[in-house]
A and B are shown apart, each in its own frame.
Chain A
Amino acid sequence: MHASQRSTGAAIEIRKASKRYGAFTALNDIDLDIRPGEFMTLLGPSGSGKTTTLNLIAGFTDITSGTLQIGGKSVTGLPSHKRNIGVVFQHYALFPHMTVGKNVAYPLALRGIKGDERAKRVRRALDMVKMADFAHRYPSELSGGQQQRVALARALVFDPPLLLMDEPLGALDKKLREWLQLEIKRIHRELGTTFVYVTHDQEEALVLSDRIAVFNGGRIEQIGTGRELYDTPATLFVGRFIGESTVLRGSAEVSGDETAMVIGGQKVFARGRLADGARPVILLRPERVALKRAGADVDADENRLTGTIAEAIYLGSGSKYEVRLSDGTIAVVRSPLGATDFVIGDTVDVTFLRSDLILLPDDASADVTLT
């Protein structure tokens, strides 16, 4: 797309937005700022409100309370066909009675763009998704991945300032998904359009996004970059939803600026403390944990928990272990290439630095089975 025709991405501002369907609250008072040209992913399990938010931005449903502004102007009450936003759906939604070319030309025809100009823009859009040779085919002749690329071209051909994508890769197989993720990332870089992407796949979110908003039960638990969410999750739900983790629970004692927790007869120490009244849990990332033979020396700053290897998986790039601790908790550990190998049944010490553990308030809503 020519720089002169390229649209600068729109900003989105959502304030105290709620969406209720009768007695059911899909969204509960959410605040969200999306910066112009950003790639923002709405991440969360099914029913968490991420798709509802997308539908609000698209105009497919109305906000019950709160405000929604796109590009600085309120869009409450504005029907979807007036919002000039591109939308890509999970099941492509290509018009079966039109060729690929006609599908992509459709939004241009609606906007009165005819003739050479229309043909030029259609060709450019198809080139961008590498589907230019398929202009005369019908959607039924294309594979899923090809259809999704056409859908992407159709949503971008009219240079919208904002592109919404609702789990567009969910119906595709793994290799195709990974390839298309990179294609989407490339197109985003080239265009500068604001992308808002919905998915329940946290790996996908980490690959694609500038920032991620984690949804749970109609609320946003945290907004941040992938690194921020992984290293410093604000809630137990976020910590467990993003990446792998081990959650340790035990009886806690707080003294001054430190928290100590007794787990299965052993004591571990953490820096910092939670607000009064909050029951703490400890979250560990698998890479921040090292396995040593039981009884080996530990540094002063290291915590130690003894357990037995329950599962040992060789990954090629390293190994992954599941260690059953004395209180029954399973600790997930990733060992790099070159570390000592252990086998099932070995007694080991799970060691981690005080600075490497994350202290979080316990939360019942984080205990759902996360897909």
Chain B
Amino acid sequence: MTATPDDGAPNAAATDLAQSPFLSRFRPRGPVWLATPALLVLLVVLAYPLGIVVWRSFSDPAIGIDNYVWFFQSAVNRAVLQRTFVVAAWVTLACLICAYPYAYAMTIVGRNMRLALILCVLVPFWLSGVVRTLAWVILLQDSGVINSILRGIGLPPVKLIRTLPGVVIGMTQVLLPFMILPIYSVMKGIDTRLLPAARSLGAKPWKAFLQIYVPLSLPGVYAGAIIVFILSLGFYITPALLGGPRSILLSSLVQNQVLSLLNWGRGGAMGVVLLVATFLLLAIAAPLMRQKHTASRREV
């Protein structure tokens, strides 16, 4: 770009072109309009379809809340709803138990070991989601890996495929990284000198850990738990492939209603139930995730 040194002639058109960044104290009304294409896409492919789902749940086949009445009246449906939440809770708990020590270990090991641990967390993402579920089929089936191992050491085989525990195990493995990463990122920011400081004041090591470290790590725990729980609610592929007729979850019911029975009213109603549950959870959990007291770690 050739720009000859201007001797200062005012340029009216140039005034329209927004200026470069101002004083850091006073941020300008930024170029918010740049987000318009993204918002448009969301409007067309997210808001409108969701709107249709909600609308049809109240209007197909007739206007009213019939679909919801049908859903909550059926004992089978209620059982499925309950099962969905229970499974999500189990998965969240399992993830939490596995993730917390793992994330903690990531903060205290050396650089190379940490890299290896992070790699283990990220590698699962390189395997296609569907293929991962297939892997669990292989692992859990009667002639699968786990039972082979059990048989090998003389224990009786366990039926894991097409059972709820099998579904929980599969979902836990898929969702575990989503629990590890938030917890780790919060733990990373906890000042490493707090625990020795507490000990120097007379606190026993396990007490210092419980009273000082754990509370500071909670925002990450809440974030991870919410993410995992919400993802579990909407989970579809893994329960479909690993579960049997007695472990159907809500997402499978929705798919069944719409794809097989072409019943958008009922399918939509169940979808709306899922949506409402999700947003309620988000509303409750969002304030918990805010780190009110930041514990800063001084980088050495």
Interface residues of A (CB under 8 A from B): 21, 51-52, 55, 59-62, 69-84, 110-112, 158, 160
Contacts and interface: CB of A to CB of B under 8 A. Distances in A.
Interface centre among A74, A75, A79, A83 (most CB of B within 10 A): A79
B243 to A, nearest CB: 51
B13 to A, nearest CB: 9
A60 B7 contact: no
Contacts of A71: 7-8
Given A77-B14, A82-B14, A60 B6 contact: no
A111 B10 contact: no
B26 A74 contact: no
A81 B12 CA distance: 14
B252 to A, nearest CB: 51
A80 B14 contact: no
Contacts of B14: 77-79, 82
Given A79-B17, A111-B3, A60 B23 contact: yes
Contact of A82 (B6, B12, B23): B6
B4 interface: yes
16 contacts: A52-B23, A60-B20, A72-B8, A73-B7, A74-B10, A77-B11, A78-B10, A79-B19, A81-B3, A82-B6, A82-B11, A83-B8, A84-B5, A84-B8, A110-B3, A112-B2
Interface in B103-147: none
A74 to B, nearest CB: 6
Contacts of A158: 5
Given A76-B10, A78-B14, A61 B5 contact: no
Interface of B: 1-12, 14-15, 17, 19-23, 26
Contacts of A78: 6, 8-11, 14
A136 B100 CA distance: 47
A73 B8 contact: yes
Given A79-B14, A110-B1, A60 B9 contact: no
B5 A70 contact: no
Contacts of B12: 77
A83 B6 contact: yes
Nearest to B13: A77
Contacts of B4: 111
Contacts of B17: 79
Contact of A111 (B2, B7, B15, B20): B2
Contact of B26 (A21, A77, A84): A21
A80 B3 CA distance: 13
Nearest to B21: A60
Given A61-B23, A79-B15, A84-B5, 13 more contacts: A59-B19, A70-B8, A73-B10, A74-B8, A77-B12, A78-B10, A79-B17, A80-B19, A82-B3, A82-B6, A82-B14, A84-B6, A112-B2
Contacts of A83: 6, 8
B2 A61 contact: no
A110 B1 CA distance: 5
Nearest to B28: A61
Given A74-B10, A77-B10, A79-B14, A60 B19 contact: yes
Contact of A75 (B1, B10, B22): B10
A76 B2 CA distance: 23
Contacts of A51: 23
B8 A75 contact: yes
A5 to B, nearest CB: 12
Contacts of A160: 5
B268 to A, nearest CB: 48
Nearest to A21: B26
Contacts of A77: 10-12, 14-15
Nearest to B15: A77
Nearest to B23: A55
A76 B12 CA distance: 9
Nearest to A47: B25
Nearest to B20: A80
A112 to B, nearest CB: 4
Closest 10 CB pairs of A and B: A112-B2, A73-B8, A77-B15, A84-B5, A82-B6, A79-B14, A77-B10, A75-B8, A61-B22, A21-B26
A13 to B, nearest CB: 12
Nearest to A59: B19
Contacts of B7: 71, 73, 84
Nearest to A73: B8
Nearest to B17: A79
Contacts of A60: 19-23
B111 to A, nearest CB: 20
Contacts of B6: 78, 82-84
Nearest to A10: B8
A78 B5 CA distance: 13
